[in-house]
């Protein structure tokens, strides 16, 4: 797909909108493009098989006008649009949060989403609902931090994954050196946190799959996390992302319980065995059910489950089956993810077009999952979006009352500073007055993280504790 554009200043905005409709194709800017776009002082002229002229709306910014003009043109060509319209940002509910704080009515907010982004009333209402629910539990003005610890290993690498996640059988020699480096990072920063008497709000142990390592190693790192960030810290939440059923057993669940984690995540992504095999999982839906019931028997009262919309060969029938199985288990929260075809994933690198479906089918799968979550008494409490999501939809967390994932909200809304430990962890220092954010990223490669651990620690100290 080639586009001729007279003003490269708006190349990024034009690309964003074309990528919605041509997300399986490479998009280039060329002097001989099949689409010709001329951006003038007060209008946009677009030419392909037809020529359309779009006058600017004085109430919109220049970029908003340009994006809406291109979006309108392409919806005519394709015969459909997307529920979020031109809205590309990863935090669509932030708009609703801002407008609610300004005293704008819900009806006017819905009109705002339509006017500025051509977004549907349905999605505007979802953003409003999330914004109102987040407000109850988000940043209260005190000086707190949340903690993220990353484990970059998994039993196998799922076809859609782009995270720092290494199949553990191929990197066994790196596991102990990694845990040694991670322990050093946690203990050195933990010492400063104790010295400064900094209040920790929540702790999230994710990955990768934390439970992919052996039982003894898992217990040791859980002890380190507990000693430095949990014990007598009066935190609001400690989450361990157990993740895959093929990495969890009674011993590891007992360890999680022993070290006071009060929220866990068991993530099947699908409850259809054919799909699980295709995406690279070594477990079945029966394994998920057994592990979930085991966790309940051990006393876990806050269990999340993740599903993904848009996996290969899955339609509304398969989503209904997944939701039937999950409803029978009765988890405390469900996170509905949309498939995102990311760089670095096997799916992106392959010629497999498994993600290609009609928009109506994608939309109906989302609709089913959302409706079923509400049917079992859950409400949406956080949401975010990613690049190259199928159908340009969203990821939404649903939960029953009082079972919100605190860390999820803090991380997505940038309402609190986050100290991140481990390979690919990104720490964020949030200015409580201005809302400005400074970031410090640990290296993604496991070997580099091990070799440069002193550098990672030094950079974190420099950002958060300059005088240390």
Q: What is the CATH number of the domain that holds 291?
A: 3.80.30.20
| Partner residues linked to 264 by β-bridges | 240, 303
* CA torsion angle 131 237 201 419 (round to 10): -100
Mark whether 46 and 111 lie in a shared domain: no
Name the pTM for this structure.
0.91
pLDDT at residue 46 is higher than 50: yes
Tell me how far apart the alpha carbons of residues 301 and 15 are, in angstroms, rounded to a whole number: 45
pLDDT at residue 162 is higher than 60: no
Strands in 189-323 per DSSP E: 199-207, 237-243, 263-266, 303-309
**Which residues are CB-contacts of 110 (< 8 A; sequence separation ≥ 6)?**
121, 124, 125, 128
Does residue 369 contact residue 391 with C-beta atoms inside 8 Å?
no
Mark whether 363 and 421 lie in a shared domain: yes
As given in the structure block, the two tokens for residue 448 are 């580099």
**364 in any annotated domain:** yes
**86 in any annotated domain:** no
Q: What is the DSSP letter of 391?
A: G
Mean per-residue pLDDT for 440-446? 96
CA 143 to chain centre: 25
CA 442 to chain centre: 19
pLDDT at residue 59 is higher than 90: yes
Q: What is the pLDDT of residue 349?
A: 47
**128 in any annotated domain:** no
H or E segment to which residue 111 belongs: helix 106-117
Category of 414 on φ-ψ map: left (φ > 0), alpha (ψ -120 to 50) or beta: left
> For residue 140, what pLDDT band results from cuts at 50, 70 and 90?
low
Mean per-residue pLDDT for 252-267? 97
Place of tokens 């002097």: 31
Tell me how far apart the alpha carbons of residues 238 and 230 are, in angstroms, rounded to a whole number: 8
Beta strand 303-309 with 333-338: parallel, antiparallel or unpaired? parallel
Q: What is the pLDDT of residue 133?
A: 92
**461 in any annotated domain:** no
**205 in any annotated domain:** yes
Mean pLDDT of the chain: 91
Q: What is the pLDDT of residue 174?
A: 96
**134 in any annotated domain:** no
Enclosing domain of residue 408 = 144-455
Q: What is the pLDDT of residue 155?
A: 82
Mark whether 112 and 253 lie in a shared domain: no
Single out the residue of 162, 164, 159, 167 nearest to residue 352, CA to CA.
159
Place of tokens 């993604």: 444
Q: End-to-end CA distance of the chain, in Å?
A: 53
3-state secondary structure of 426: strand
Q: How many C-beta atoms lie closer than 10 Å to residue 7's C-beta?
A: 12
Tell me how far apart the alpha carbons of residues 263 and 297 are, in angstroms, rounded to a whole number: 14
Q: How many domains does the chain have?
A: 3
Does residue 442 contact residue 424 with C-beta atoms inside 8 Å?
yes
Mark whether 370 and 342 lie in a shared domain: yes
Mark whether 150 and 119 lie in a shared domain: no
Mean per-residue pLDDT for 406-430? 93
pLDDT in tens, 193-238: 999 999 999 999 998 899 999 999 999 999 999 999 999 888 999 9
**433 in any annotated domain:** yes
Mark whether 149 and 293 lie in a shared domain: yes
Mark whether 159 and 25 lie in a shared domain: no
Question: In 226-378, which residue ranges form alpha helices assigned H by DSSP?
Answer: 250-258, 273-279, 285-297, 316-329, 346-349, 359-375
Number of separate helices (H) and strands (E) present in the chain: 16, 18
Tell me how far apart the alpha carbons of residues 329 and 103 are, in angstroms, rounded to a whole number: 41
pLDDT at residue 191 is higher than 50: yes
Mark whether 321 and 392 lie in a shared domain: yes
Single out the residue of 86, 102, 99, 115 nearest to residue 12, CA to CA.
86
**The domain boundary residue, chosen from 78, 101, 136:** 78
Mark whether 64 and 114 lie in a shared domain: no
Tell me how far apart the alpha carbons of residues 96 and 331 are, in angstroms, rounded to a whole number: 28
Place of tokens 């410090």: 440
Please give the backbone phi and psi of residue 200, each rounded to the nearest 5 degrees, phi first: -95, 130
As given in the structure block, the two tokens for residue 17 are 């909108």
Residues in the chain, overall count: 468
Category of 79 on φ-ψ map: left (φ > 0), alpha (ψ -120 to 50) or beta: left
Please give the backbone phi and psi of residue 290, each rounded to the nearest 5 degrees, phi first: -65, -45
pLDDT at residue 354 is higher than 60: no
Single out the residue of 336, 345, 327 nearest to residue 395, CA to CA.
336
Q: What is the pLDDT of residue 329?
A: 98
> For residue 353, what pLDDT band results from cuts at 50, 70 and 90?
very low
Mark whether 281 and 357 lie in a shared domain: yes
Mark whether 233 and 262 lie in a shared domain: yes
**447 in any annotated domain:** yes
Mark whether 221 and 331 lie in a shared domain: yes
pLDDT at residue 355 is higher than 90: no
**Which residues are CB-contacts of 313 (< 8 A; sequence separation ≥ 6)?**
274, 275, 278, 354
**The domain boundary residue, chosen from 78, 102, 132:** 78
């Amino acid at each position: 797909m080639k586009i001729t554009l007279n003003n490269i200043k708006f190349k990024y905005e034009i690309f964003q909108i074309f990528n919605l409709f041509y997300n399986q194709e490479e998009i280039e800017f060329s002097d001989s493009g099949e689409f010709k776009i001329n951006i003038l002082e007060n209008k946009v002229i677009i030419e392909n098989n037809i020529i359309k002229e779009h006058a600017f709306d004085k109430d919109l910014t220049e970029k908003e006008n340009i994006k809406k003009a291109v979006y309108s043109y392409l919806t005519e060509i394709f015969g459909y649009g997307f529920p979020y319209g031109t809205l590309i940002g990863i935090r669509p509910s932030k708009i609703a949060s801002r407008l609610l704080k300004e005293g704008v009515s819900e009806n006017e907010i819905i009109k705002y989403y339509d006017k500025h982004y051509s977004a549907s009333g349905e999605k505007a209402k979802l953003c409003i609902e999330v914004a109102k629910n987040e407000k109850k539990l988000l940043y209260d003005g005190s000086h707190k931090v949340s903690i993220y610890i990353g484990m970059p290993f998994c039993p196998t690498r799922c076809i859609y994954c782009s995270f720092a996640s290494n199949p553990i059988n191929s990197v066994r020699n790196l596991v102990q050196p990694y845990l040694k480096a991670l322990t050093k990072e946690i203990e050195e920063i933990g010492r400063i946190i104790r010295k400064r008497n900094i209040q920790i709000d929540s702790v999230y142990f994710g990955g990768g799959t934390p439970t992919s390592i052996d039982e003894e190693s898992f217990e040791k790192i859980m002890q380190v996390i507990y000693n430095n960030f949990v014990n007598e810290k009066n935190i609001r939440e400690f989450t361990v992302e157990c993740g895959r059923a093929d990495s969890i057993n009674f011993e590891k669940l007992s360890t999680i319980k022993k070290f006071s984690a009060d929220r866990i995540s068991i993530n099947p992504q699908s409850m259809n065995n054919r799909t699980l095999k295709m995406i690279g999982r070594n477990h079945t839906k029966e394994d998920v059910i057994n592990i979930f019931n085991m966790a309940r028997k051990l006393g876990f009262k806050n269990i999340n489950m993740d599903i993904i919309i848009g996996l290969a060969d899955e339609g509304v029938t398969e989503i209904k089956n997944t939701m039937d199985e999950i409803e029978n288990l009765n988890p405390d929260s469900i996170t509905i993810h949309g498939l995102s075809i990311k760089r670095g994933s096997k799916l992106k690198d392959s010629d497999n077009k498994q993600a290609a479906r009609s928009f109506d089918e994608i939309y109906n799968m989302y609709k089913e999952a959302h409706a079923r979550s509400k049917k079992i008494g859950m409400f949406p409490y956080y949401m975010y979006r990613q690049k190259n999501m199928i159908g340009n939809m969203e990821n939404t967390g649903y939960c029953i009352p009082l079972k919100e994932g605190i860390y999820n909200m803090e991380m997505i809304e940038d309402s609190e500073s986050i100290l991140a430990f481990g390979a690919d962890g990104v720490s964020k220092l949030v200015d409580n007055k201005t809302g400005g954010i400074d970031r410090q990223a640990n290296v993604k490669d496991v070997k580099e993280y091990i070799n440069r651990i002193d550098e990672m620690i030094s950079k974190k100290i420099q950002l958060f504790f300059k005088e240390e």
